Each structure stands twice: as structure tokens, then as C-alpha cells.
Structure 1
Amino acid sequence: MVALVSVLIAISLSLLITRTATEALALTGLSRPAAAFQARSAFTGSGFTTDESEKVMNHPVRRRIIMWLMFFGNAGIITVISSLVLTFISTAGFDEWLPRLLLLLLGIGFLWIVATNYTFNRFLTRWVRVALKRWTDLDVRDYASLLHLKGDYQVMEMEVKAGDWLANKRLEELHLRDEGIVILGIERQDETYIGAPHASTCISPGDSLILYGRKSGLTELDSRDAGIVGERAHQDAIAVQQKIEQEQDSQDIFSQKQNHQIQS
């Protein structure tokens, strides 16, 4: 029974460790899905090679988090395996083996329900963020809050291909701001990074762009091809953005009138 309890405790700690690491990676600017994937990959020792993995290894804070995950992951997996072996190897027969298996399955099921509970996840996320900022020296920042990533707005990384509408054009030719899209930075193939690029900066195939805007607009831009079709899509995107800005202006005027009436 002691070994069975050890298994459940080890699984609980594993879930807590990976969740803490996910929040820490997300606070460094990594997207939450990518942070969760990298945390679980490092903890289990899967070692997937992805573009996100390179971003983790090139970032000193993220690299420290991954190193600790690897350390705890090795210890945790060994503990679970050894405890499982002790749990079932010490059973004399089926009468003892079956109750332990059922108890193990019930325990894992309970942990899964707790781990996927929305209310619990919100509480855990808040607690983890406070703990990371208070008791660690990691330079973690909530970039989502800083950039006000609410509603349909988000930051997206986009790789430019040879046949894309963006390729081989200067920023001043693209008029992306008219679409409600802002280029925050450009990473060249030689790993040179251009922050807050100028209007004269040229986008080349192979560049990775860091963009800010509405999700729907960014997704459409990512699949936009060069040529007449791309230019039409650009004009359509501008029309959509103008409509959104008109609605925002109307809401702003209405809010100002309400504030004026309250103050009066």
C-alpha cells in the first residue's frame, strides 16, 4: 500500500512540476500550447526537435527551466516505475492484485479530473505565477498582459516563403497598418534580429516575422499568395479594418458622452 501511495504522490508532483514549468515558459513569451508541449517533452525525456525547441535553447531563462525539468523528470519516472513494481510484485495472488489495480486506476482518474478542472486550473495558474515572481529570480514577464492580448488580438510568428505576398517587399509598400497589423520584429535566416523595423526594411523569403493583430487577419495574411489575388485580399483586409475602426470610434464617442454626463 505504501508503494501505491508513492505512485500517486509521484504522479501528482509530476503534474504540478510540468504545470509550473508551463506557466514559467509562457511568462517568458512562449505561447501556452508550445510551452506545455516543451515542458512535457523535457520532463519525459522525449526530446522532440522542433522550431520551438530552438527558441527554448537560445533563451537563457527557458534553458534553465528545461534543465530543471529534465532533472526532476528522471527522478520522477524512476520513482513511479519502481513504486509500480513494488506495488504488484509483493502481491500474493489475484485477490490482492485486483484491489490495488482498481485503487491505482481510481487515484489516477481522480488526479485527471482535478488536473482538467477549469476552476482548479485558474487557481493553480494564479498561484504559480505569484510564486514564480516572488520566490525565484527568473526574468518572467506576462507578455500577454503587457500587449493586451484580449479578444481576437494576439502575437504570431510567421515564416515568409518565396511565393508569399509579403516576400521581397519593403514595409512601406505593404501598408500592413491599414490592415490593423503591426510588425514587431524580423529575424533573418542568419539569426540577425531587427526590432521595430523601419519602413524601408525589406522582407525576404526565409525571414520570420513577429506580428501583432487580429487572429483572423494574421491567419489570412499567413496564407496570402503573391500576385493579383494577394492584392485583392489586401484591399479586402483594409476594408474590414476600416469597418472595425469605425465601430471602435463609435463606441469611443458613446463612452465619452456617458463619462461627460456622469461628470455633469
Structure 2
Amino acid sequence: MNLLFLLVYFIIITAVIEIFVVLFRLTGLKLEVSRFQVISLMTGTGFTTGESELILGHPIRRKLATFLILFGAFSLAVIISSISNFLSDDLRIHDILYLAASVLLIFAVLKLTVIQNLLSKLFNRKMEHTIELGDLPIRDVFLTEKEDYLLNLHIYKDSSLACKSINQVINNHNQLEFIALFIKRGEMKIRRNIYNIKIREGDQLFLFGEKEVITTLFKDDIHIMEETIRNQPLIKPLS
């Protein structure tokens, strides 16, 4: 009986995980990210990774995540109690096996290409009709193509852009595959006349465009930023 209980419990949990992995993938999440986040949500461990923002910033994924969190919180006690009761009575073994078979059937149906296409269209249609652009995560708005790149470039004293404007450093920027979104200067965001404003040390320049173009044009500044951040001393906690 104990072996049967463990087997049925494992089958149900595994099937639920795989069902939600498929659902998350249909919202555009990568397979490896989907599986890790599903397991994290269900078990309540490891969800505080940077990738969790992909879940929290997406309205449909948030709804799926809500179910998983609740399922994970109540499933262990409820399922163990229910299965134990079922297995204590030979006449009820068939019921729990039917439950496991039902979950497996749902998973099998979701693996069908036709069903996945229908759900994918449904999710996209819901996003188009009910979701504001500001509710979407950055990756779903800006990084829709492989070559898309979003850079938060910190300006330091030795940066080529320090005390200069973008126009002074880069000729014919209008012909290149990138744009400057805004300059963050302390608590202020500068959005007007960005290309002619002299950039100061301490500014943050937000750039969007083709990755190869941005990494080539701002190669030196990116290198200075990375080296500066890498060499910054770690702040030790007060003892």
C-alpha cells in the first residue's frame, strides 16, 4: 500500500508540474526557465531569483503562478490525507487511480500541437484585448527579437561620453540601429534633446537597439563600466 501511495502521489505531482510547464511555455517562457519556476512556485523554494520577474511582470503567468502557490501550499496535506483515506479502503483505490489517470490525460491533451496552438492564440488574444503595455515585462516589450538589446550604461570619469554629447561622439547616429531612450541624472530623467545634451559623470544612459551595433559603438564605455563595477570593493557589514 505504501509503495502504491508513493507512486500515485509522484505521478500526480509530476503531471501537474509538466502541465504548468507547458502552459508557461505557451506564454513565451523558455522550457528550462518554465520548469524551474514551476517547481519553485509549487514548493515555495528558489522563487526569489531574477527570473521570477518574468513571472511577476506577466499578467497571465501571474494567474498560473497563483494557482501553483495555492496548490503547493495545500496539496501536500490534502493529497496525502486523501490518498491515505483512499488506500485504507480497497474499494476506493480505483478512485485515486482514476484521479491520476485524469491528470495524465490532461497532460497528454496539452501536449497535442493543435491544443497548444489554440491556447497560444487564446493567451495572445487575451493579452491584446485586456493588458496595458505598461503591465508587460521589459523583455516582452523591447526584447522580442534575438538581436534586440537594452543597455543601462553608467557613465564614469574616464568614459568617452563624459562631458560630451552623443552627437559629438557618434556621427550619423540617425542612420544606425539604436536609439537613446533617456538619461537618468540622479532622480531626474531627461527625455528631450538627448543627443545634444552633454552627459555628465554619474549619469545613466539607457540605450535600445541592435546588440552588435550598441556593443561596438559603446565598446570602450561598456568596458570601463564593467571594470569599475568589478573593481568596486565589497562593503563589509558592521560588526
TM-score, length-scaled by structure 1: 0.47
2:76 match: secondary structure: helix
Q: 1:185 — aligned with what?
A: 181
| Whole-Å separation in 1 of the counterparts to 2:127 and 2:196 | 41
Distance 1:6 1:158, change over 3 A: same
Deviation, 1:193, is: 3.0
Percent of aligned pairs sharing the same letter: 12
Q: Is the 8 A contact 2:22 2:111 kept in 1?
A: no
- Determine the C-alpha separation between the residues in 2 that align with 1:156 and 1:86: 50
Q: Is the 8 A contact 2:180 2:205 kept in 1?
A: no
Change beyond 3 A, Cα 1:190–1:125: farther
Residue 167 of structure 1, CA deviation: 3.9
CA deviation profile, 1:98-142 (whole Å, cap 9, x unmatched): xx9xx89xx6xx77x949x8x9866654331113334x3x21489
| Aligned match for 1:78, one of 73, 87, 90 | 73
1:14 aligns with 2:20: yes
Contact 1:159–1:208 (Cα < 8 Å) also in 2 = yes
Partner Cα distance (2:213, 2:49) in 1:
29
Alignment of 1:60-139 (within 5 A): 62=57, 68=63, 71-82=66-77, 85=80, 114=111, 124-134=119-129, 136=130, 138-139=131-132
Verify: 1:158 aligned to 2:164, yes or no.
no
Measured in 2, the distance between the counterparts of 1:70 and 1:211 equals 30
> What do you get for the CA RMSD once the two structures are aligned?
5.4
Which of these residues, 206, 209, 213, is aligned with residue 206 of structure 2? 209
Structure 1: distance between partners of 2:159 and 2:52: 23
Instruction: Please say if residues 170 and 200 of structure 1, whose CA atoms lie closer than 8 Å, have aligned partners that are also in contact.
Output: yes
Give 1:75 deviation, angstroms.
Answer: 0.6
Offset of residue 71 of structure 1: 3.3
Q: Contact conserved, 1:7 with 1:84, CA < 8 A, in 2?
A: no
Bigger shift: 140-149 or 68-77? 140-149
Question: What are the within-5 Å matches in structure 2 for residues 238-249 of structure 1?
Answer: none
Aligned to 2:194: 198
Match of 2:164 among 156, 164, 169: 169
**Closer, same or farther in 2 for the Cα pair 1:8/1:49, shift >3 Å?**
closer
Deviations 1:158-202 (A, max 9, x none): 322424434442121122616714324124153433336433223
Q: CA deviation at 1:47?
A: 4.9
SS in 2 for 1:186: strand
Conserved in 2, the CA contact under 8 Å of 1:184 and 1:197?
Answer: no
C-alpha distance in 2 between matches for 1:52 and 1:170 = 37
**Structure 1, unaligned runs of 5 or more:** 24-31, 231-264
